[in-house]
């Protein structure tokens, strides 16, 4: 468990807090490109790390991310007119470009240069992997563009999505790196039937066999290996024939995670704080060499649209105030949570912990090694930054594009640390946390 002071240190992310300053030193995805589809289109409200901002695409297609409040009298620029390479406040006509410069002040006296003294908060942006990314840190510390796997693939081989989560980023992040909950939270009762046993041999198993192992072997040996970018979580379960079923999740500080999947072809997720009580999950699916067709993308959009409240499309349909629309009959006959789809199961357990979980009351065990190490690494990186020590990866020195998760069966004497070790990992057994 943590002390109250330690919990606040990890969960507070507004400007000026140690954790907030750590987050601001990295490029972070915050919108999907499709949310700003056209030049001179409608602006979008954005709240990041406790700041109220707006995003807009100007006449030339450049994306601006600026403070919402007009620096004149504080009126909201969300209601502004976006045209002619800037957004105009509807109060007095003051106009700002994507760099935060005041480029027009029609209500000022003729010949005045006062507009040259007015500048609002703006942040650099870039577009990659179907998302719009922002850097909110010091200008002289801006890192190179993000270089994760999805950033280097052609955009037609990537699908991005964005989901609001109604709790602090840390408990949502901890859920991504908890490998022992699979056998309960994401278990289906019919996975207990021993099918696809021909996959009980070294190689990539069928999804059915992988689910059979995680559903029937509740215990997993959890090891954590520190890396230059963060860590690898390796969960090992025995198979009926004595082989090892290995699932590898990866964490790149501060909050990018690779969910265990064959050859890394599953989800790559980030949990960006909106404020201390809310976060957003931006996820990326990659399919190298096999572009997503427009029909597939449209089907994904429709599938995701069904997850949101038809009365308020920005609000998730399943949430705590409607008990996540839990189906108690399904809970008894289909799967323990009685909630679908699978991601909503994660949201349920993390959101019901409270907006900020009280970690002074928790009881951790061996299966929580990755959660313990996540907290240690985040705290260390934030404290190092306070002392002037740069966070990992901000100088472009880490081959992020080589990070891979994995879901694989290996032989009884094979070393799981040799699996998916292409991003500079040491490929030696990690020290288990106790």
Q: What is the pLDDT along the chain (434 residues), one digit of tens a residue?
A: 899 999 999 999 999 999 999 999 999 999 999 999 999 999 999 999 999 999 999 999 999 999 999 999 999 999 999 999 999 999 999 999 999 999 999 999 999 999 999 999 999 999 999 999 999 999 999 999 999 999 999 999 999 999 999 999 999 999 999 999 999 999 999 999 998 999 999 999 999 999 999 999 999 999 999 999 999 999 999 999 999 999 999 999 999 999 999 999 989 999 999 999 999 999 999 999 999 999 999 999 999 999 999 999 999 999 999 999 999 999 999 999 999 999 999 999 999 999 999 999 999 999 999 999 999 999 999 999 999 999 999 999 999 999 999 999 999 999 998 898 888 887 555 443 33
Q: Which domains does the chain have, with CATH numbers?
A: 28-134 (2.102.10.10), 149-418 (3.90.380.10)
Q: Where are the beta strands (DSSP E) in 79-157?
A: 81-82, 87-88, 95-96, 102-104, 122-123, 125-128, 131-134
The number of C-alpha atoms within 13 Å of 255 and in the hemisphere containing its C-beta is: 31
Contact criterion met (CB below 8 Å) for 88 and 72: no
Sheet holding 95-96, edge to edge: 81-82, 87-88, 95-96, 102-104
Contact criterion met (CB below 8 Å) for 22 and 120: no
Global pTM exceeds 0.75: yes
């Amino acid at each position: 468990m943590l002390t109250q002071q330690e919990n606040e240190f990890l969960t507070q992310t507004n400007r000026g807090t140690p954790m907030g300053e750590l987050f601001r030193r990295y490029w972070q995805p915050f919108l999907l490109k499709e949310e700003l589809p056209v030049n001179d289109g409608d602006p979008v409200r954005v709240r990041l790390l406790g700041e109220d901002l707006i995003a807009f695409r100007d006449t030339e297609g450049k994306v601006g991310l600026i403070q919402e409040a007009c620096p004149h009298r504080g009126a909201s620029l969300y209601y502004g007119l976006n045209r002619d390479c800037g957004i105009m406040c509807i109060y007095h006509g003051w106009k700002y470009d994507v760099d935060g410069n005041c480029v027009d002040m029609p209500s000022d006296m003729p010949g005045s240069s006062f507009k040259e003294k007015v500048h609002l908060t703006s942040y650099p942006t870039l577009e990659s992997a179907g998302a719009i990314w922002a850097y909110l840190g010091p200008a002289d510390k801006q890192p190179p563009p993000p270089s994760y796997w999805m950033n280097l693939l052609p955009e037609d081989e990537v699908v991005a999505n964005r989901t609001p989560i109604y709790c602090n980023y840390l408990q949502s992040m901890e859920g991504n790196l908890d490998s022992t909950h699979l056998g309960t939270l994401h278990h289906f009762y019919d996975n207990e039937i021993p099918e696809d046993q021909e996959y009980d041999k070294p190689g990539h198993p069928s999804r059915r066999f992988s689910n059979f192992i995680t559903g029937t072997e509740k215990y997993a040996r959890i090891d954590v290996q520190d890396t230059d970018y963060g860590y690898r979580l390796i969960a090992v379960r025995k198979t009926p024939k004595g082989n090892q079923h290995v699932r590898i999740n990866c964490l790149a500080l501060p909050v990018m995670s690779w969910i265990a999947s064959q050859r890394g072809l599953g989800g790559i997720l980030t949990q960006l704080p909106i404020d201390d009580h809310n976060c957003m999950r931006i996820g990326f699916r990659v399919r190298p060499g096999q572009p997503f067709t427009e029909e597939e993308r449209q089907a994904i959009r429709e599938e995701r649209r069904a997850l949101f409240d038809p009365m308020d499309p920005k609000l998730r349909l399943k949430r705590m105030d409607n008990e996540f629309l839990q189906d108690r009959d399904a809970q008894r006959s289909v799967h323990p949570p009685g909630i679908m789809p699978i991601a909503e199961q994660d949201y349920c357990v993390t959101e019901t912990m409270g907006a900020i979980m009280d970690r002074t009351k928790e009881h951790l065990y061996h299966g929580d090694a990755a959660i313990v190490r996540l907290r240690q690494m985040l705290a260390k990186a934030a404290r190092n930054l306070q002392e002037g020590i740069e966070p990992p990866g901000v100088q472009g020195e880490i081959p992020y594009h080589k990070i891979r998760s994995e879901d694989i069966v290996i032989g009884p004497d094979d070393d799981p640390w040799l699996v998916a070790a292409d991003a500079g990992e040491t490929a030696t057994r990690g020290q288990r946390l106790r």
